[in-house]
Structure 1
């Protein structure tokens, strides 16, 4: 196929299509499903849509929806709408973006006069599918594009998308599915997870090299690197000097608290610059305003979190600064892709260490980029809460028979192994909630007609479900509102629940004083300048170190080869790494892959045993309590556990429990009886109870209320708690209880990686070194524990005393 129209468009723009774009067009035109993998800024959107652009330009008389473009971010839908309108300036091709920000008028117009191209999110697509009118809307669909598939497939949103694709394949005449991703370790698995079970597709990969170079912010006598910490503000001045007026920079942080702190600090030291704040908890109007400034290049610096990671195209961005370790190779590639958003361009990223061990992570990051060693993505499977929501959504569209819907659901990759027995248990939940809830009509959502088809039990049940379609939650949030009414955004309820009237915290670039938590809203006012007692942090998401980087960090202590050439100041970094390894080796041993390093020392706090599996924070969250519990089974002990990405600290008032741990090491880390020991070690029932609220919200078992009449936070907590207790007592094998437990073990403790770590620990010998002071590896664990409690001695003073013998200033 010559693709004359789209080639002419490229020529008018002064570009020539890449070979991978032409290949993608041919495959779409021939009805071949595909996954396009190419670097950010290489024209992947036009690769995925070029064939349909050609068809719509060639056949202007076509009516009905032809192209559905699904993206994970609302901000991307508007950006894509503008980009796709460009080829059709002289044509009457209708293009519409539909998301939660879309006006009621535009939502209604979707069905009155169908667009040729529709851009939406997975959540909004579910809402569209709930309408009976969507059957006609999607009947003409020819092509489906799923953007940023690597991001979607790693969460329940990808499962939701997969179910929607299975439904669309049934409603349409076999549309062509195209996935887009810039960062994937296993593209074959990604393609398999994208397509309906048994449907074949092909990989379309771009042969375009995008170079990412790394520069490390160097410490000096005036800005020495601490051995522990995560803010990095000690390097504020050298970082601020890198910001240039008129040159747009995105400064990425890993947590929202970190973003708030850096934004405040930069505003103080660089008052000559236009600086903005962007993270996912801010009000939508604030985020959209910053995104507009980024597109126009009207801002000098944006302090951001992962909310700007994905493929929104900001052509004006020229520099990227990363505060702290990005924690994964894939995340670094995504963030680097936000600058120099042009095919084949080079991006130089300034990496800012917040502590000395981040230098080791930066070296490991460069090695992993050289080896193209990305993190594996494990798509979630059998998410029964998502499936329950989807089944009710499809019942709103049209009645369905269990046999046909079971076949449709199991055509989705995530549910390919779903048994009919489990599916029938889900039908019980839809019909009556459970045997213990059947007398309560609010838990009856569907009923079975005489012909065997399932329909909504009432208009009331239908209205309630429409209010929660697309809900995929991991944490509950409360709105932050000024006393005089203006909304600032949202924070996690777990944080808001700990605040007392008068407490001070930073949010939306402001110092705020808590007034009260009421009806699901945190009411605040500006804090007076002299007011002290600021709350140090709010949650905002902690990023665990990936397995890929953790393994390379361990190897880095024994590095013999030169540093990567992509590091611009590698001589300085090499010298700093050598000093760290020298201090670690002088005080203790350097870690090695063929052994498990342990360190024992005594302080005024007690007897310490530090162990270094290098398995990442999620795994260590479970491993630490597991080790402590198994020690306590052997000898009565009062143990304190602290964990980070590198290791685990066990603190005891007496040395005997630690002696027993070393003596019985093989049994202490055995993978046998793992589940039962974890139940005891982690107080798992409480964690599952907390997770159950999210599971119940996704599945629709808990109703949050109508717009303007939402249930209060306390009411939701009480409802979920009572429901959990009833099901635990009378229906302990309920599918949603099982789902909540599975989610806790998978998402909060990475159960699969924990089992792998235990197997590795049993195979490697334990080498324990008695030391006289905390080593560079032990010190962050000690400081983390000190930071979590009140003390008359400041943490900084204590850290200075503990590092007195290190003699390293770099």
Structure 2
């Protein structure tokens, strides 16, 4: 490349020639992104996985570095570009794609990776001589900001790319990124910021969060959309005999034999389950029933050790595996061209997740993606029909960004104080320029500064909370090495239950498991993990020591992530599908989907006992069993909203007459069970579905203080109020819980205006109880015609909710027997 590359046109020619050499043709969206970047614009690229998005942004970054190197006689040392990825697993692939381009256009352009997996030796080498492009995670970027002379490190930075931005948006890791970018914009004068996002409902807002609130970000920014229409085919796996009373007991395992022909027909199949425990069970049952799959079927989830996961990923690429049973650990990024077929077990709870998984098959531009949907109970066939419409019309969820996350702000300010220190008057405008803290007041800012220097009003007598010192010139700085070290160990916003490693007695690491599951086991208990039955020998330190067991029955670990709820879009699609079903049951010649045809026995039975609600109707069913008086309500809004609605209604009914209830709920509705009859007419007459006084009643009904107390544990960890421990000596979860509860009580009694204390309540209502959705649901119900059906016995719609409540009380064998007895009575 002797000739000087001075113009944008010459640079673009280099890229186009390289694509020609690879026998590729650049997409329109790739060319649009190249031009926008080389014109100095910031932006957000909306493109599906597997469409060449890495080359859309790495090509212009590399070309700009090339142009600079030709201009300057001597290459400027140091970092030119940062590529942020939410998942470590993606960094290797991004690195391979970036290196391939560099080696052909200029082999002196270097690429490096820095994540939690990078060795100490490698990090030290990077510190001495940074690569041109560094691929890293949000947490590792914060660690770089906590190091001395970070401003020199980022001084010549030209570009930051945040990959999978939709995954960070709506989490505190996203807030962490906003704050880091606000600093980098000041330190690196010529910085261009780009995000890459899959399709979400609020793309324009996603761009504002990335680049700062509208107005500031609009003048010099673009939103580039890849117009690649991905064809998605949804195939439902329908059982031959339909049960009339569906229940979620079998996790779909009764359809195991229907799945095997699909696996045998395809090169490679990914079988997605919603939870890690379901993943373990499916793998185990598949191996038991079809031992010929040994060596051809593997399992992949986030708790299995890294070596095994990487081996599985490589084996998929090399087409050495017929099938992999997995969880969302394979949702993102990892590019597998050979995958032909996807099977989704059970409703995926959200449209975006379903489309993302479908896109894993036919993972090349122009190919059709096929996804098989396997319902774990009959009602989920309605979800299948709804998802087919969503795939056709591309209906996807919004991701709601966090606002005023003071725990993340306190952590970030301490990070700056640990490295070079900061002057509040310089940092305040930077923080105000972010989307999360655009409404930050001077009073709140002063509170945060006081908190990091004294611990605030309640804690000012304890030295351990005086982390940051104010020097003579007004600089805020951490000068204590112990404080700095502890802070660096705890940087991050991912707070989960303490994780213990699972090892064989004779050595050999299997993976990790959450403390709350292990704490329920006694030595000698057998549990299933990583596809094996293991006997617990003892828990020693942070290790669970086990040996292999030949016992057939075993407990299946449950992980905290197992409780998923419907998204708002999914709920809406489901309701529409149900209204269609209500209309079409009586029409013999109506054009029906095969899902609705298969559901006819259930729908007819539902009509016999009650009704199927239509668009303007809200259904309440009451009946009596030997357990007591049941009242079942059907908002079809997802389990989180139903949990809150159930508590709210129980509280409001108890104000009319003193009754106590037990509450059960699933994604379709909720049940109030009592030993005395509810006067339903009184409930309807008193307008108990009103959205008035919602916050006040929720507060009283839900034991909101208890929920906020649990939420506060995470806030306390992120804000550095409690220390989680050193790498080999982590603090036990129950100790963390008790220290944070103690602080919570201190703030409640002596400093109720403490911003972190208040944040615990805000997050409980906004993120856990989805108060906004709850309000909308109540407003909808208020405009509907409420139909109350007093039934003789449980209906097909109510059956899954009743059996869910029994599950909590009975072991699985007893539950199976009990349900069979109930079914015999109902079928009469």
Fold match by TM threshold 0.5: yes
* Matching of residue 677 in structure 1 with residue 697 in structure 2: yes
SS in structure 1 of the partner of residue 256 of structure 2 = helix
Residue 611 of structure 2 corresponds to: 589
Residue 104 of structure 1 corresponds to: 120
Q: Cα 1:268–1:427, aligned 2, differ >3 Å: closer, same or farther? A: same
Which of residues 774, 792, 797 is equivalent to 1:777?
A: 797
Q: Structure 1 CA distance, aligned partners of 2:508 and 2:346?
A: 33
* Matching of residue 731 in structure 1 with residue 751 in structure 2: yes
Which of residues 531, 548, 553 is equivalent to 2:569?
A: 548
SS in structure 1 of the partner of residue 473 of structure 2 = coil
Structure 2, unaligned runs of 5 or more: 1-7, 586-590
Matches within 5 A, 1:275-294: 275-294=297-316
Q: CA RMSD in A?
A: 2.5
Q: Structure 2 CA distance, aligned partners of 1:374 and 1:380?
A: 19
SS in structure 1 of the partner of residue 792 of structure 2 = coil
* Matching of residue 330 in structure 1 with residue 352 in structure 2: yes
Residue 186 of structure 1 corresponds to: 202
Residue 518 (structure 1) shift: 4.8
Which of residues 505, 529, 545 is equivalent to 2:551?
A: 529
Which of residues 32, 36, 40 is equivalent to 2:49?
A: 40
* Matching of residue 307 in structure 1 with residue 316 in structure 2: no
Q: Structure 2 CA distance, aligned partners of 1:783 and 1:435?
A: 50
Residue 135 (structure 1) shift: 1.3
Q: Structure 2 CA distance, aligned partners of 1:556 and 1:472?
A: 37
2:648–2:698 CA contact under 8 A, matched in 1: yes
Q: Structure 1 CA distance, aligned partners of 2:698 and 2:502?
A: 36
Q: Structure 2 CA distance, aligned partners of 1:744 and 1:479?
A: 30
* Matching of residue 88 in structure 1 with residue 88 in structure 2: no
Which of residues 111, 129, 135 is equivalent to 1:119?
A: 135
Q: Structure 1 CA distance, aligned partners of 2:528 and 2:25?
A: 49
* Matching of residue 688 in structure 1 with residue 708 in structure 2: yes
SS in structure 2 of the partner of residue 465 of structure 1 = helix
Which of residues 174, 199, 203 is equivalent to 2:217?
A: 199
SS in structure 1 of the partner of residue 787 of structure 2 = strand
Q: Structure 2 CA distance, aligned partners of 1:522 and 1:633?
A: 49
Which of residues 794, 803, 815 is equivalent to 1:795?
A: 815
Superposed CA deviations along residues 675-702 of structure 1, whole A, max 9, x for unmatched, are 3322332222222222222111111111
Q: Structure 2 CA distance, aligned partners of 1:570 and 1:77?
A: 46
Q: Structure 1 CA distance, aligned partners of 2:42 and 2:61?
A: 14
Matches within 5 A, 1:386-785: 386-529=408-551, 532=553, 534=555, 537-559=558-580, 572-656=594-678, 658=680, 660-664=682-686, 666=687, 668-785=688-805
Residue 329 (structure 1) shift: 0.9
Q: Structure 1 CA distance, aligned partners of 2:694 and 2:266?
A: 57
Which of residues 71, 90, 111 is equivalent to 1:76?
A: 90
Which deviates more, 139-148 or 569-578? 569-578
Residue 705 (structure 1) shift: 2.0
TM-score (norm: length of structure 2): 0.92
Residue 715 (structure 1) shift: 3.1
Q: Structure 1 CA distance, aligned partners of 2:697 and 2:146?
A: 44
Q: Structure 2 CA distance, aligned partners of 1:410 and 1:474?
A: 29
Residue 94 (structure 1) shift: 0.9
Q: Structure 2 CA distance, aligned partners of 1:554 and 1:263?
A: 33
1:283–1:487 CA contact under 8 A, matched in 2: yes
Which deviates more, 680-689 or 10-19? 680-689
Which of residues 151, 165, 168 is equivalent to 1:149?
A: 165
2:406–2:759 CA contact under 8 A, matched in 1: yes
SS in structure 1 of the partner of residue 624 of structure 2 = strand
Q: Cα 1:324–1:687, aligned 2, differ >3 Å: closer, same or farther? A: same
Superposed CA deviations along residues 720-769 of structure 1, whole A, max 9, x for unmatched, are 23222322222222221112222222332112211222222233232111
SS in structure 2 of the partner of residue 525 of structure 1 = strand
SS in structure 1 of the partner of residue 262 of structure 2 = coil
Q: Structure 2 CA distance, aligned partners of 1:267 and 1:599?
A: 43
Q: Cα 1:534–1:144, aligned 2, differ >3 Å: closer, same or farther? A: closer
Q: Structure 2 CA distance, aligned partners of 1:336 and 1:695?
A: 35
SS in structure 1 of the partner of residue 574 of structure 2 = helix
Q: Cα 1:421–1:475, aligned 2, differ >3 Å: closer, same or farther? A: farther
Q: Structure 1 CA distance, aligned partners of 2:366 and 2:349?
A: 25
Residue 499 (structure 1) shift: 2.8
Q: Structure 1 CA distance, aligned partners of 2:693 and 2:539?
A: 43
Residue 66 of structure 1 corresponds to: 80
1:385–1:736 CA contact under 8 A, matched in 2: yes
Q: Structure 1 CA distance, aligned partners of 2:50 and 2:284?
A: 31
2:690–2:778 CA contact under 8 A, matched in 1: yes
Q: Structure 2 CA distance, aligned partners of 1:11 and 1:92?
A: 22
Q: Structure 2 CA distance, aligned partners of 1:202 and 1:677?
A: 45
SS in structure 1 of the partner of residue 86 of structure 2 = coil
Q: Cα 1:796–1:807, aligned 2, differ >3 Å: closer, same or farther? A: same
Q: Cα 1:718–1:652, aligned 2, differ >3 Å: closer, same or farther? A: closer
Residue 245 (structure 1) shift: 7.8
Which deviates more, 210-219 or 279-288? 279-288
The number of residues matched between the two structures is 800
Residue 791 (structure 1) shift: 7.6
Residue 557 (structure 1) shift: 2.5
TM-score (norm: length of structure 1): 0.94
Q: Structure 1 CA distance, aligned partners of 2:510 and 2:158?
A: 41
Q: Cα 1:570–1:9, aligned 2, differ >3 Å: closer, same or farther? A: farther
Q: Structure 1 CA distance, aligned partners of 2:779 and 2:496?
A: 30
Q: Structure 1 CA distance, aligned partners of 2:245 and 2:41?
A: 53
* Matching of residue 235 in structure 1 with residue 235 in structure 2: no
SS in structure 2 of the partner of residue 651 of structure 1 = strand
SS in structure 2 of the partner of residue 551 of structure 1 = helix
Q: Structure 1 CA distance, aligned partners of 2:749 and 2:249?
A: 44
Which of residues 208, 230, 244 is equivalent to 2:228?
A: 208
2:231–2:367 CA contact under 8 A, matched in 1: yes
SS in structure 1 of the partner of residue 649 of structure 2 = helix
Superposed CA deviations along residues 760-793 of structure 1, whole A, max 9, x for unmatched, are 2233232111112222211111110111113899
Superposed CA deviations along residues 358-381 of structure 1, whole A, max 9, x for unmatched, are 100011111122222111211111
* Matching of residue 51 in structure 1 with residue 51 in structure 2: no
2:622–2:629 CA contact under 8 A, matched in 1: yes
Which deviates more, 323-332 or 46-55? 46-55
Q: Structure 2 CA distance, aligned partners of 1:586 and 1:297?
A: 51
1:614–1:647 CA contact under 8 A, matched in 2: yes
2:232–2:370 CA contact under 8 A, matched in 1: yes
Structure 1, unaligned runs of 5 or more: 564-568
1:4–1:54 CA contact under 8 A, matched in 2: no
Q: Cα 1:223–1:308, aligned 2, differ >3 Å: closer, same or farther? A: farther
Q: Structure 1 CA distance, aligned partners of 2:558 and 2:143?
A: 36
Q: Structure 1 CA distance, aligned partners of 2:384 and 2:413?
A: 46
Residue 15 (structure 1) shift: 0.5
Residue 566 of structure 1 corresponds to: none
Residue 516 (structure 1) shift: 4.3
1:583–1:806 CA contact under 8 A, matched in 2: no
Which deviates more, 93-102 or 623-632? 623-632
2:244–2:602 CA contact under 8 A, matched in 1: no
Residue 645 (structure 1) shift: 0.8
Q: Cα 1:39–1:717, aligned 2, differ >3 Å: closer, same or farther? A: closer
